[in-house]
Amino acid sequence: MTDTVTGGLAAPLADPDSFVEGSPWKLFRALRDDEPVAWTPEPDDGSGFWSITRHADIVAVSRDWETFTSSRGVSLEDLEDDQLEHRTSLIDTDPPNHAAMRKIVSGMFLPRVVNGYESFLRGIVATTLDNALAQGSFDFVERVSSEIPVRVLARMLSVPDTDHAKLTSWGDRLVGGTDPEFADHLPGTPEYEEYRLVPFRSPAALEVFDYGRALQAERRAAPTGDLISRLVEAEVDGEKLSQQDLDNYFLLLALAGQETTRQAITLAMNTLVEHPEVLARLQSEPELLSGPALDELLRWGPPVYHMRRTATRDAVIGETAVKSGDKIAMWYPSGNRDERAIEYPDTIDLDRPTVDLLTFGKGGPHFCMGSFLAKLEYRVTVEELVARLDTATFSGPVERLRSNFVNGIKRMPVTVTNR
C-alpha cells in the first residue's frame, strides 16, 4: 500500500492549458498503468487532489457515497462552509436527502416520458441540419450543436424558443470560467472574490436565478405541470423548497440540460470527421445507432472530464491510502479507455456487444438524471446527420475550451458535401 503523497505525473491535470489541444490520452494511459491513484498538486491556493483514472476505481468511488461524499462540492474548487451553504444543489447532496430532491423532477426524465419528445426533436434536428448543411462550409458548433439541446430544454421549461441564445450564453459563461473567452473574471481578480457565494463564481448565475424566479412566479400563479411547476410545488419533509434551493436546482437543470449534450453532439461530429470509416459504416447501417454503437460513440467522445468527491474518512482506493478531507477527481474519459474494463479501448468498434460506459457516471446515486434524454438527442442528431452527409472535413482549426472540467469545443469549421 502506498501512502506517500507524490506529485509530478498527474500535475498537468490541474492545469486547464493541458486540455486545449484535446484530451491528454497519453497521460491518462501512463497514470492508469503506473499511478492509478495519483496525487495532483494544484497551483495557487488549491489544496491538491487525487486523480483516479481506472474504470473500476471510478465505479467504486461513485458507489461508496458514504466514504466519498459529494457534499463538499463536485468541482475541484475548495469551498468554505458559507459557500457550500449558498451554492449546494441536488448534485452536491448526499443520500438520504438526495433521493427526495431527485424525485421532484426525475419522473420527467424517464424513458417513457422522454420518448414522447422524439418527433418534436426530429423536426428541430431536420430543420437545423438542412439549413446548416446547405451552407457547405460553416461552424458546426454555432449552426448545429448550439441549436438542438437548448431548444429541447426551452420546451421542457415552457419558455419561448427565442430565449435559446440567452440560455446558451449562460452555459458558456458558467462552464467556461477557466477560458478567457467566456470567463466573466479569472481567479485572482477582485470580482472573483466578490462572487464567491455564487455558483461557478459567475455573475451569469445571478442572471439565471432572475430568469428562473420570473418563471417560478408565473407557474405559482398558473401551474402547467412542467419542470418549473414541479419545483415550485414540491415539498421535502413537509416543506416547500427555499428560494435558494429553487435557484440552485433551476441553475443545475438549465446548465446540465443543454451544455453537456451540446458538447456531446460536437464531439460526435468530430469523431465522424476524424474517422471517415465510422461515418461510412453508419451511413450504410444507421440502425446500429439503436444499439451499443451509440454508447461506443459516447465512450469515444465524453463531454465531462471529471466529477469530484471528498473522503469523509481515511480510506483506501485501489492500493493507495487517502486521508479524510482529501479531494478525489474521477477522470471519466480515462476510465472509458481503460483496457482493464474495455478490450482494445483505443479502437472505435461499432460492433461491441456492450460498452461499459462512464460518460454519465456509473454506480452511484448521482448517475446522470438526463441520460435518456441526452441519448435520445444524440441518437436522433447523429441519425439525421449521417442520412444527409456524404463527406465532411475540417475547414479550419478546431478550437477547444480551456477547461479540465468540460471537454468542450468552441468552434469547429467544417466543409461538407451532401447526399
CB 374 within 8 A of CB 148: no
Q: Which residues pair with 52 in a beta bridge?
A: 37, 330
What is the Cα–Cα distance from 398 to 413, expressed in whole angstroms? 7
199 binds ligand HEM, rule: CB under 6 A: no
Classify residue 361 by its DSSP letter.
B
121 binds ligand HEM, rule: CB under 6 A: no
348 binds ligand HEM, rule: CB under 6 A: no
357 binds ligand HEM, rule: CB under 6 A: no
407 binds ligand HEM, rule: CB under 6 A: no
- Placement of cell 463538499 in the chain: 72
What is the Cα–Cα distance from 169 to 165, expressed in whole angstroms? 6
Q: What are phi and psi of 194, to 5 degrees?
A: -60, -35
- Of 13, 157, 368, 414, the one binding ligand HEM by CB under 6 A: 368
User: CB-based contacts of 226: which residues, under 8 Å, 6+ apart?
Assistant: 156, 157, 158, 219
Supply the minimum distance, in Å, between the C-beta of residue 332 and ligand HEM. 6
261 binds ligand HEM, rule: CB under 6 A: yes
- Of 307, 322, 342, 412, the one binding ligand HEM by CB under 6 A: 307
- Of 299, 366, 400, 410, the one binding ligand HEM by CB under 6 A: 366
Residue nearest to ligand HEM (CB): 370
CA end-to-end span of the chain, whole Å?
A: 58
Please state the separation of Cα 58 from the chain's center in Å: 16
360 binds ligand HEM, rule: CB under 6 A: yes
Residue with Cβ nearer ligand HEM (73 or 303): 303
Site string for ligand HEM, 275-304 (x = CB under 6 A): ----------------------------xx
Q: Which residues pair with 13 in a beta bridge?
A: none
Supply the minimum distance, in Å, between the C-beta of residue 258 and ligand HEM. 7
What is the Cα–Cα distance from 243 to 265, expressed in whole angstroms? 33
Supply the minimum distance, in Å, between the C-beta of residue 166 and ligand HEM. 17
Supply the minimum distance, in Å, between the C-beta of residue 15 and ligand HEM. 21
The grid coordinates of residue 397 equal 482549426
What is the Cα–Cα distance from 133 to 136, expressed in whole angstroms? 6
Residue with Cβ nearer ligand HEM (195 or 305): 305
- Placement of cell 419528445 in the chain: 117
Supply the minimum distance, in Å, between the C-beta of residue 89 and ligand HEM. 8
373 binds ligand HEM, rule: CB under 6 A: yes
The grid coordinates of residue 91 equal 448534485
374 binds ligand HEM, rule: CB under 6 A: yes
359 binds ligand HEM, rule: CB under 6 A: yes
* DSSP per position, 33-72: HH-SEEEE--STT---EEEE--HHHHHHHHH-TTTEESTT
91 binds ligand HEM, rule: CB under 6 A: yes
Q: How many residues does the chain have?
A: 419
155 binds ligand HEM, rule: CB under 6 A: no
Residue with Cβ nearer ligand HEM (184 or 292): 292
The grid coordinates of residue 116 equal 414522447
Task: Name which of residues 14 to 73 contact ligand HEM (CB under 6 A).
Answer: 62
76 binds ligand HEM, rule: CB under 6 A: no
Supply the minimum distance, in Å, between the C-beta of residue 393 and ligand HEM. 25
322 binds ligand HEM, rule: CB under 6 A: no
What is the Cα–Cα distance from 50 to 63, expressed in whole angstroms? 17
Residue with Cβ nearer ligand HEM (264 or 348): 264
Supply the minimum distance, in Å, between the C-beta of residue 209 and ligand HEM. 17
Q: Residue 400: which of 255, 266, 206, 229 has the closest Cα?
A: 266
Count of residues binding ligand HEM (CB under 6 A)? 25
369 binds ligand HEM, rule: CB under 6 A: yes
What is the Cα–Cα distance from 371 to 117, expressed in whole angstroms? 14
Supply the minimum distance, in Å, between the C-beta of residue 190 and ligand HEM. 32
User: CB-based contacts of 367: which residues, under 8 Å, 6+ apart?
Assistant: 62, 360, 361
Q: Which residues pair with 165 in a beta bridge?
A: none
Q: Residue 260: which of 178, 336, 369 has the closest Cα?
A: 369
Supply the minimum distance, in Å, between the C-beta of residue 44 and ligand HEM. 25
Which residues are near ligand HEM by CB under 6 A? 62, 90-91, 102, 252-253, 256-257, 260-261, 264, 303-304, 307, 359-361, 364, 366-370, 373-374
